[in-house]
A and B are shown apart, each in its own frame.
Chain A
């Protein structure tokens, strides 16, 4: 690039200093094709290493190629462009690699579930229970588990969403009022902490409190209680976020018309934030629908249909998958994967629906 400096304008020394200045500012630069070229060289070298040394396997060779790419490009860049650009290129390489590194297993999970789940999936599988089907036999299905999951998650949503929304209203709308401030801060802090309580601990709590102490039986309802506790903090957080986006002006316009605070909340604030609240609630439902550990502690697995969540063992999809996977026969493994596919489909549909609701009806920021 330095040959473009207009030397004729200003004598030999001036040209020299211009060139130096230009180099200092713009510096040398690797050609645009540099990453591609280095990539090819790195792959070739890795392939050679694969043949002559301990490097083997496709994954191993690719990792070595990536390492070589990083090193080679950095060295070249260091020579031509200087240290700062070499570091920059290395960082860029790392960022791209981490992304590929992460995407691979994430995609693999979905593919594995779909491919293996399709083995046993059929309309029959969705519409029959496991009653009278031994682990070795093929057949049977998840109907009883779907019933259980829908009821348990439904009950959890029925209790958890109103509680969560009310808490969020308290935090956003009432927290500023005098003596409420301290309480609100404590509630807010413990909602955050509650998000981090492991689901198995919540299961233990429901077992010790509801089953051991209150004498409730292990049932779908006990499981629903555990799911409720897991749901509340998620609902509170997302609702809170939505309520905070609702413009102050809307509330003040309402107050100015003489409308009391509670009616303002019900008629102005909540409707404005509604779609966001729905999105948050659906995400919370999706999150708890796949929980296995708390169910394991609070309900018994059942192989037959039980519509009554308040008494008797009731199955659930995650429990079904756990049960079948641990049975260890080929037929039960196939059923476990098919159950997993059903579970993941339900969760994903909830998730996508929530995102669509958010997208098309969201509060304009």
Chain B
């Protein structure tokens, strides 16, 4: 490799030019450019927060209801009253369902690819899940609505019939379409590649010695997974779940297509209805007046803060955990 460095570049023509002031100027320019790009990212993040806050203020001032506890969304009414209670509920509920399904399954897939399937099959399956991470969210939404929803009908009826005594699964309407439950399942499928890809990455990095030591001590494969793989990969698994959660919280189009949006807090999650921050923005955008747009910006700000907190927490957990994991060096 080093041969490619030696011959042409520092030949006589450039040799005098790369000394003294020219070096410093070149280096300074380059450092300036790249540092500028880095600073731009910080500025962008700050600007996102600043502009969202600034443009949210008019609606928050016009609002006659409590922004955090009101469920209705009528910012363009006179007087304006709207709040994010129903949106918060829908966002958290869909994400919780998504995570409850996607985390165990995603980690299972990652385990399968990394340590259960043979190398070839594992590589192929890893490629397929990666490929599905690239499927645009609108396509997941359309698929959820026209393929998955009819498929789930029978299961949801069954769930209500036999587990209807759990308030969450009760269904008084007898209608099982466009519900928070279905949105949650579609979200789960969407974040699955994220969760499994990142978990897989860390599973593969587990030092061979740890695995073989566990097996040599007579551990079964599952005991090896619990003793060697999980402890090593824990920060990575948390990171994977958090990133999946971030994606689920902010997912817009798929949810907007699936939910029949309304502004009630309904714990019976198999009934139609519900709404999320992101979906609400997409659905209300084109019909909103000035205060309506500002109100949507305000709800976007809340979503921004929530995802920011989730992501930062994930990063901090990983940063702290990394110190304990002595196997890295």
Contact = CB atoms under 8 A, between A and B. Distances in A.
A204 B44 CA distance: 13
A87 B116 CA distance: 16
Nearest to A84: B220
Contacts of B134: 283, 286-287, 290, 347-348, 351
Interface in A98-117: 98-99, 101-103, 105-106, 108-110, 112-113, 116
B111 interface: yes
Contacts of B218: 25
Given A98-B112, A321-B138, A166 B5 contact: no
B154 A60 contact: yes
B10 A257 contact: yes
Given A201-B304, A290-B136, A293-B282, A194 B41 contact: yes
A232 to B, nearest CB: 7
A88 B250 contact: no
Interface in A152-176: 162-164, 166-167, 169-171, 173-174
A337 interface: yes
Interface string B198-226: 00000000000000000000101111010
A201 B300 contact: yes
Interface in A179-193: 180, 183-184, 186-187, 189-193
Contact of A196 (B48, B137, B220, B310): B310
Interface string B284-300: 01000000000011001
Contacts of B40: 163, 167
A200 B282 contact: yes
Contacts of B140: 109
B132 interface: yes
B37 interface: yes
Contacts of B112: 95-96, 98-99
Contact of B192 (A102, A108, A233, A268): A102
Contact of A190 (B42, B146, B147, B281): B42
A243 B225 CA distance: 32
Contacts of B116: 92, 95-96
Given A87-B220, A106-B189, A208-B297, A198 B307 contact: yes
A330 to B, nearest CB: 12
A262 B29 contact: yes
A322 B145 CA distance: 13
B163 interface: no
Contact of B52 (A92, A199, A208): A208
Interface in A209-233: 209, 212-213, 229, 232-233
B135 interface: yes
B105 A101 contact: yes
Contacts of B183: none
A121 interface: no
Interface stretch (A1-9, A131-139, A246-254): A246-254
A46 interface: no
A33 interface: no
Contacts of A190: 41-42, 45
Interface residues of A, number: 111
Nearest to A212: B55
Given A60-B158, A201-B304, A292-B252, 6 more contacts: A170-B34, A187-B42, A197-B304, A201-B48, A204-B281, A290-B137
20 contacts: A102-B106, A174-B34, A183-B35, A183-B39, A187-B39, A190-B45, A196-B247, A198-B307, A200-B278, A201-B303, A204-B297, A208-B55, A253-B2, A258-B18, A263-B18, A292-B138, A293-B137, A340-B142, A343-B136, A343-B138
Interface of B: 1-2, 4-6, 9-10, 18, 23, 26-27, 29-31, 33-42, 44-45, 47-48, 51-52, 54-55, 104-109, 111-112, 116, 125, 127-132, 134-140, 142-143, 146-148, 151, 154-155, 158, 161-162, 189, 192, 196, 218, 220-223, 225, 243, 246-247, 249-253, 257, 278, 281-282, 285, 296-297, 300, 303-304, 307-308, 310-312, 315
Interface of A: 25, 54, 56-57, 59-60, 84-85, 87-88, 90-92, 94-99, 101-103, 105-106, 108-110, 112-113, 116, 162-164, 166-167, 169-171, 173-174, 180, 183-184, 186-187, 189-202, 204-205, 207-209, 212-213, 229, 232-233, 236, 247, 249-250, 253-254, 257-263, 265-268, 271-272, 283, 286-287, 289-293, 296-297, 318, 321-322, 325, 336-337, 340, 343-344, 347-348, 351, 355
